[in-house]
Chains A and B, each alone.
Chain A
Amino acid sequence: MKNLFLTFKKYRYLLFQLVKKDIKLKYRSSYMGVLWTLLEPLLTMMVLVLVFSKLYHNTKDFPVYILTGRLLYSFFANTTRGALKSVRANASMIKKVYVPKYMYPFASVLSGYVQFLISLVVLAGVAVYCNIKPTWHLLEALVPLTVILVLTMGAGLWLSTLAVFFRDLEYLWGVALTLIMYACAIFYRVETVVGDNNRWLFRLNPLYSVIENFRDAVYGNAMNMPVMLYSVGFSVVIFLSGLVVFYKNQDKFILHL
């Protein structure tokens, strides 16, 4: 364990470099650069509002409802997809230079997180437009924003390990993500689907729990503590077990790449 911290200290500059590379290269060749990070969620939100607002007779704050769910879900989806491929994508380096291998999934998740944080600017804009006033509950948003990072890191460690041994995991995970999306209640309200008494069904999905906490913070409602504790517990377990699985298998990676 002590060794782990020492190598992390030595290679933290590499982590920074890998994250920087991911972000820099993503925007270098595109004409509007970082503007896409803001525009993309905004446009998808508009589509969803257009499609679903008539359907569910929603209120004026519906765009904020959609955007909070969508931003968090797409961070999770895009980043786990990237992390899944991260060890394989860097196979040529893993075979030639010694670097702590967890750097690759970590860097992949962190660069996604930076872009996600930038995209929150859109949410702020839309919230102002929909006349949602910030309260001190907004500070509580830091909790779900941290929990989702831990959860995504954990999932990324699991997926990147398994993907080394099973190439078809990429497709299976794509299917799983569709299921997770519908279980996140992004563009409908949970109570209209299962009724108020059965909300716990959705809350079993840790990502939905995170989204609910985040929405409460944005809307200025008090945080639901049991939901928060569940998502924290779930994420920490996934993260620690992911770390163990990754560590136990990392010496075998090179034989399978």
Chain B
Amino acid sequence: MSETVLKVENVSVKYRLTEQKVDDLKDYLIKLFKRELRYKEFLALDNVSFTLNKGDRLAIMGMNGAGKSTLLKVIAGVLKASEGTVTKRGKVVPLLELGAGFDMQYTGSENIYLYGAMLGYSKAFLDEKYAEIVEFAELGDFINVPLKNYSSGMKARLGFSIATIVEPDILILDEVLSVGDAKFRKKSEKKIMDMFDKGITVLFVSHNESQVRNLCTKGILLEHGKMTVSGTVDEVLEKYKTITG
């Protein structure tokens, strides 16, 4: 009865690292003639596969550089896998880098439309949700002020409010968001918890064991790009403890 929402099949990501950075034509030609163009290949993700059903909450664990962010980028569609496929169903909302598309010269309300368009929302939808976004972000009169005059907390609040205005089918979280002051943090956490309760699918990257235990139903562990454990949260946490020592 449970339907598959996300299927990651044999995904590998290969980076080509040039030993020296070559990014202009002059260097490229010189190196080409001297036969000095050498590349080192680096596997950021090596044959990772898993399947998530509706309502699954997956913890992605691993040390720094294990490939967690790369995996999230592939699932969010920013980075294309060198091999393998990712099949998604429904609306994916990545709560990573909130407000990456903001323009600092633009006012808050102009940015709502700009960033909203970037996330793929239509004008009609944004018109309808505009009041809700403004209210949730608690910006008051600042909504008509250019973003360059905002504090970083205000920017994050606006970004969060725009990104979470839709009900996602798949939510991608990189650490639990600590956005804004204590009051807003509580509010944003509550909003995320409400989404959890509605049975959405969640991908959650964290180093915090108690959070993972509380929030997630499944887990995978990445080590140097390879998926070494895939199973219940307890299995993953146990292995995670042994590698972190």
Contacts and interface: CB of A to CB of B under 8 A. Distances in A.
B105 interface: yes
Given A13-B122, A17-B117, A93-B101, A166 B23 contact: yes
Contacts of B193: none
Interface of B: 15-16, 23-26, 28, 76-80, 96-97, 100-101, 103, 105-106, 110, 113-114, 117-123
Given A11-B120, A254-B78, A168 B114 contact: no
B123 A13 contact: yes
17 contacts: A14-B118, A17-B114, A21-B103, A25-B103, A92-B100, A95-B100, A96-B100, A96-B101, A97-B97, A97-B118, A166-B24, A167-B24, A169-B24, A169-B25, A172-B25, A251-B80, A256-B23
A28 interface: yes
A134 to B, nearest CB: 37
A14 B117 contact: yes
Interface string A75-109: 00000000000000000111111110000000000
**How big is the A interface, by class?**
20 to 34
Given A11-B117, A18-B117, A96-B78, 13 more contacts: A14-B120, A18-B114, A21-B110, A24-B110, A29-B105, A93-B101, A95-B78, A95-B100, A97-B78, A166-B23, A166-B28, A167-B23, A169-B25
Interface residues of B, dominant DSSP: loop
A60 interface: no
A165 interface: yes
Q: What are the 8 tightest A-B residue pairs by CB atom distance, in nearest-first order?
A: A96-B100, A98-B77, A14-B117, A168-B24, A166-B25, A251-B80, A17-B117, A96-B97
Contacts of A94: 78
A17 B113 contact: yes
Contacts, number: 69
A11 B122 CA distance: 8
Interface residues of A, dominant DSSP: helix
Contact of A13 (B28, B79, B106, B117): B117
Interface of A: 10-11, 13-14, 16-18, 21, 24-25, 28-29, 92-99, 165-169, 172, 251, 254-256
Contacts of A92: 100
A144 to B, nearest CB: 32
A6 B117 CA distance: 15
B180 to A, nearest CB: 20
A21 B28 contact: no
A23 to B, nearest CB: 12
Contacts of A17: 113-114, 117-118
B106 A99 contact: no
Which of the listed residues B103, B114, B120 has the most CB atoms from chain A within 10 Å of its own CB? B120
A99 B117 CA distance: 10
Contact of A25 (B77, B79, B105, B117): B105
Contacts of A172: 25
